[in-house]
């Protein structure tokens, strides 16, 4: 399960755009804590305590403990608004979580032992269909990631949800109960060559069925049509007498 990181913040004097701008002028990030059937709390977060977390994999799955002037709030990140030019966070949303809170999150999938997969050694390509798996669980049971072992897998082999090890108390949310997570596909060059090899016999049959252009008629066949041009170097036929 994911670890809990502590974040430092202070209360915001007022909500709205004016309060957010005031927090940014102080070098803080305006934010809000909501959920768990309690009123929202307007806060301003110390950037140094959160910016490192923002760039970690699975940021939205990591539980945070926000210290707001001595009061602790257990939360999960829900949204981040960033400046399109500087990529700096402009506003943060946090979901308050209680001991019995059940939430839906996306958990990243990690693939290991690619070097131990014969299909990849022979030029196969790991085709990842699901980079994340959606689960529903309590906040303290959120997996850090799901792991897929590629050892021994050949070209054409697929990994499905049913083969993923899911911790107790965690439920996978998916329309397809056995969706494909990843597969080892044949390399493009091999696929193109196979298609060319399959098309070659059909092309050869078509060529054999069509007679060569300008071929002589078979024995007993009809003579060339009257008025046909003489062969190169031959004499033209004498005109018929009246």
Nearest-angstrom CA–CA distance, 186 and 196: 15
Q: Cα torsion for 114, 117, 121, 123, to the nearest 10°? A: -90
pLDDT of residue 227: 46
**Count of residues in the chain:** 242
Residue 219's pLDDT is 47
**Alpha carbon of residue 135 to chain centroid:** 17
Instruction: Look up the CATH number of domain 5-97.
Output: 2.40.240.10
Contact 43, 64 (CB under 8 A): no
Give the Å distances, CA to CA, from 83 to 86, 87, 120: 6, 5, 40
Tokens of 70: 């001595």
Residues 6+ apart with CB under 8 A from 218: none
What are the residue ranges in the chain where pLDDT is below 70? Answer: 1-3, 189-242
**Residue 197: predicted pLDDT:** 64
**What is the per-residue pLDDT across 5-50, written as a single tens digit (0 to 9) for each?**
899 999 997 777 777 888 999 999 999 999 988 999 999 999 998 9
CB of 99 within 8 A of CB of 139? Answer: no
Which string of DSSP letters, residue by residue, matches the chain?
-PPPEEEEEEE-S--HHHHHHHHHHTT-EEEEEEETTEEEEEEEE-GGGTHHHHTSTTGGGS-EEEEETTEEEEEEEEEEEE-TTT--EEEEEEEE--TT-EEEEEEEEEEE-GGG-HHHHTT-EEEES-SEEEEEEEGGG--S-EEEE-TTPPTT-EEEGGGS---TT-EE--SSTT-EEEEEEPPHHHHHHHHHHHHHHHHHHHHHHSPPTTPPPPTTPPPPPTTPPPPTTPPPPPPPP-
Which residues, including other chains, have CB under 8 Å from residue 27's CB and lie 6 or more apart?
Answer: 47
pLDDT value for 195 = 60
Instruction: Give the pair of three-digit tokens for residue 19.
Output: 């309060």
Sheet containing 146-149, strands listed edge to edge, beginning at the edge strand earlier in sequence = 146-149, 102-112, 132-138, 171-172
User: What CA–CA distance (Å, rounded) separates 143 from 137?
Assistant: 9
Place of tokens 């054999």: 208
Q: What is the pLDDT of residue 67?
A: 96
Domain boundaries, the chain: 5-97, 104-189
- Domain 104-189: CATH architecture, name and number where available: Beta Complex (2.170)
**Pairwise CA distance, residues 197 & 194, whole Å:** 5
């Amino acid at each position: 399960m994911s670890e809990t990181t502590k974040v430092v913040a202070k209360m915001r004097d007022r909500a709205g755009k004016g309060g957010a701008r005031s927090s940014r002028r102080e070098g803080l990030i305006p934010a809000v804590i909501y959920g768990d059937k309690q009123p929202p709390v307007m806060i301003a977060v110390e950037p140094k305590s959160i910016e490192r977390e923002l760039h970690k994999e699975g940021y939205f799955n990591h539980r945070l403990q926000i210290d707001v002037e001595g009061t602790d709030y257990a939360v999960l990140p829900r949204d981040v608004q960033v400046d399109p030019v500087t990529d700096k966070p402009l506003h943060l949303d946090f979901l308050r979580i209680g001991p019995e809170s059940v939430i839906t999150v996306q958990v990243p999938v990690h693939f290991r032992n690619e070097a131990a997969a014969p299909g990849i050694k022979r030029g196969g390509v790991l085709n990842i269909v699901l980079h994340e798996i959606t689960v529903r669980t309590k906040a303290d049971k959120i997996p850090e990631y799901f792991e897929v072992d590629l050892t021994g897998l050949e070209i054409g082999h697929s990994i499905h949800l049913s083969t993923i090890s899911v911790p107790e108390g965690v439920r996978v949310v998916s329309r397809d109960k056995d969706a494909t997570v990843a597969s080892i596909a044949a390399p493009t060059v091999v696929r193109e060559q196979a298609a060319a090899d399959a098309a070659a016999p059909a092309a050869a049959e078509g060529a054999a069925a069509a007679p060569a252009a300008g071929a002589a008629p078979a024995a007993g066949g009809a003579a060339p049509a009257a008025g046909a041009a003489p062969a190169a170097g031959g004499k033209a036929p004498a005109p018929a007498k009246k």
